[in-house]
Every structure is written in C-alpha cells, then in structure tokens.
C-alpha cells in the first residue's frame, strides 16, 4: 500500500498564517526523504468558516508545478482539482505540462466542487455541478489519452481539440466523492477513486467500498483496474487540541496498526492529512511506517 500526505498550503496549516513557499517546499522534500510515495494538494481559492472568517490558501496548480520541479521521486496529486474553476481543455493542458515538469509523476485528481462561498465570490456557476463535472470528464479523459475531442455539451464545447505536445504517458485520473452518480463517473472515466475523511476503518468506509464495487460491476469493469485511495486524518496526541470523530489520535504504535488495517482492506493508496502539518508530524508518520515494516516482517 502506498502512503502519501497532504501538503500544508492553507492558513489553517501554518502557524497563524498561510505557509510560504519555502515551508511548503521543505515539507514536500521531507516527505520524500521519509520514503513516502506521494504528496497532494487541495484546490480551494479560500476557506470560509461557519463563523464567516476567511482563511487563505495558495492556488493548487501553481504549487503542484513548483513541487514537481523541487522533488525527484514522489508522485504529486491533486485532492481534488475543482473542475468548476478551469475549463476542461485547460485543465488537461495544465496536467500535461505539470507532468512534463515532474517527469511523469502527476496524478490528476478531479472533483465537482462544493464550497459555495468560493463560487459566490468569484462568479462560478453553482447549478448542476455534477452534470458539469460529467461533461468535463468527457473532455479531459480522451484528451489525456491523446485523442481529438469534439463535444457539444450543455456547459462545455470543444471542436477537434487536442493536446500539442501530447502527454508522454497516460496521466492517471482520480475521481473523488460518494453517491451513485459520482461512483458511476469514477467507474467510467477514472483510474483511481478516493473517499475521505476517516480515522480508523469503519462501517462507512466498508459501505463506500461496497458501493464502488457495485458501480464497477454495473459498468462491466474489471475490479482490479481501479486504484482505491482513502483519506485518513492523523492528529498528534501531544498537541493540545481535541480530536474530532473522523480523526485518529493514537500513539505511533497504534497508528502503525491502523495503517495495517487499511492495507488488509485492500486499500491501494492511503493519503494522510496530518494535524498539525509539520515536519515533526511527518517524523511520527515515518516512525509508524517503520513499525509497519517490522509487523509485516514478523507475520
């Protein structure tokens, strides 16, 4: 099972302010040095809390491209890129360019979007988000396969569009989300699927995995062709902050056992959101993974 982490690029991830590029780069390089498999970037323009305060966040693709140029081995994913914010053709073009910079390490995670304050502030349409998402996938997916694409849709139009230069490889597409429509789109268009956020594996995760299996079977797709990814929230219990219901806040040894539980479920890629997003938190995760290796060696 691969292990990745979310990058600190939002105000909530830093010491009272949005982390600057040097801190993000250092975190990404530290994750790579720990032997982790991937780093991931959220895609939000800002976050508005329930109280109405605004928290800053860096633009996703700019950070993805910068991390691609600053690392050598880790995969670099978006969890997930909001298709409402960019036209589908531009999204595909940007993915190919970022993949070139990274020498073939990009995972294009896509989602329909959900945070209404962003849409209101920047004038993005909120109606029929899943339908718009479906049209975007109908354009992005074949473009990344090197095809010429003509689509006359309700929301998007392309006329003999193609990517020049083309991608050097087939860039994997990840679709995140739950519900029958999203799962159907994942089964039709995606190489990977994500569900989040969890502490330890629970009944909700089991239900989501079963629903994905059903969607794949309904599309006549080989179950082995879908990469299953799960988002896990891991809070350092030494930090004086209460853990929420969907967060894991156990010891390093307990974290190792929790990671092993995901592996036994057949999860292919575990994506960890560390709380706090600091290099000491990365060290704790690295120590847990060393214990995992010891546990596997004894089994």
What would the mean pLDDT of 173-190 be, rounded to a whole number?
A: 97
With cut-offs at 50, 70 and 90, classify the pLDDT of residue 299: low
Q: Under 8 Å CB-to-CB from 210, ≥6 apart: which residues? A: none
pLDDT tens by residue, 91-132: 999 999 999 999 999 999 999 999 999 999 999 999 999 999
The H or E element that residue 97 is part of is helix 88-102
Q: How many domains does the chain have?
A: 1
Other CB atoms within 10 A of residue 56 CB: 16
What CATH number is associated with residue 281?
3.20.20.30
**Is the separation of the CB atoms in 262 and 233 below 8 Å?**
no
The percent of residues above 70 in pLDDT, for the chain, comes to 98
Residue 112: predicted pLDDT:
96
The H or E element that residue 142 is part of is helix 129-144
What would the mean pLDDT of 266-284 be, rounded to a whole number?
A: 96
**Is the separation of the CB atoms in 173 and 148 below 8 Å?**
no
What would the mean pLDDT of 242-246 be, rounded to a whole number?
A: 78
Distances (CA, A) of 213 to 79, 167, 210: 21, 30, 5
Nearest to 43 by CA among 9, 92, 12: 9
With cut-offs at 50, 70 and 90, classify the pLDDT of residue 243: confident
Residue 283, SS3 per DSSP: helix
| pLDDT above 60 (res 254) | yes
pLDDT tens by residue, 62-90: 999 999 999 999 999 999 999 999 999 99
Which range marks the domain in which residue 292 is found? Answer: 2-298
Structure tokens at 287: 């120590």
Residue 125 to residue 116: CA distance in whole angstroms: 10
- Please, which residues bridge with residue 232 across strands? 198, 272
pLDDT tens by residue, 10-39: 988 888 889 999 999 999 999 999 999 999
| pLDDT above 70 (res 297) | no
The H or E element that residue 158 is part of is strand 157-161
């Amino acid at each position: 099972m691969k292990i990745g982490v979310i990058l600190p690029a939002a105000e909530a991830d830093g010491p009272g302010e949005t982390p600057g590029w040097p801190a993000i780069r250092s975190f990404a390089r530290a994750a790579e040095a720990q032997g982790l498999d991937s780093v991931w970037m959220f895609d939000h323009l800002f976050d508005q809390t329930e109280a109405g305060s605004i928290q800053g966040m860096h633009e996703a693709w700019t950070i993805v491209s910068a991390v691609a140029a600053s690392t050598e081995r880790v995969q670099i994913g978006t969890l997930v890129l909001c298709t409402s914010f960019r036209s589908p053709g531009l999204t595909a073009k940007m993915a190919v360019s970022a993949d070139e910079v990274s020498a073939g390490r990009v995972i294009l995670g896509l989602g329909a979007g959900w945070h209404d304050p962003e849409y209101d502030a920047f004038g993005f349409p909120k109606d029929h988000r899943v339908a718009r998402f479906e049209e975007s996938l109908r354009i992005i997916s074949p473009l990344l396969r090197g095809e010429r694409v003509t689509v006359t849709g309700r929301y998007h139009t392309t006329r003999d569009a193609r990517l020049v230069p083309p991608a050097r490889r087939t860039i994997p597409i990840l679709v995140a989300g739950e519900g029958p429509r999203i799962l159907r789109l994942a089964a039709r268009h995606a190489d990977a699927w994500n569900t989040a956020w969890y502490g330890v594996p629970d009944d909700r995760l089991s239900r989501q995995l079963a629903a994905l299996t059903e969607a794949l079977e309904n599309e006549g797709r080989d179950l082995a062709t879908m990469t299953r990814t799960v988002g896990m929230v891991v809070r350092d219990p030494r930090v004086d902050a209460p853990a929420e219901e969907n967060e894991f806040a156990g010891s390093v040894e307990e974290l190792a056992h929790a990671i092993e539980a995901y592996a036994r479920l057949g999860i292919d890629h575990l994506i960890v959101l560390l709380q706090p997003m600091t290099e000491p938190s990365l060290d704790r995760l690295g120590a847990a993974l060393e214990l995992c290796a010891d546990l596997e060696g004894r089994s």
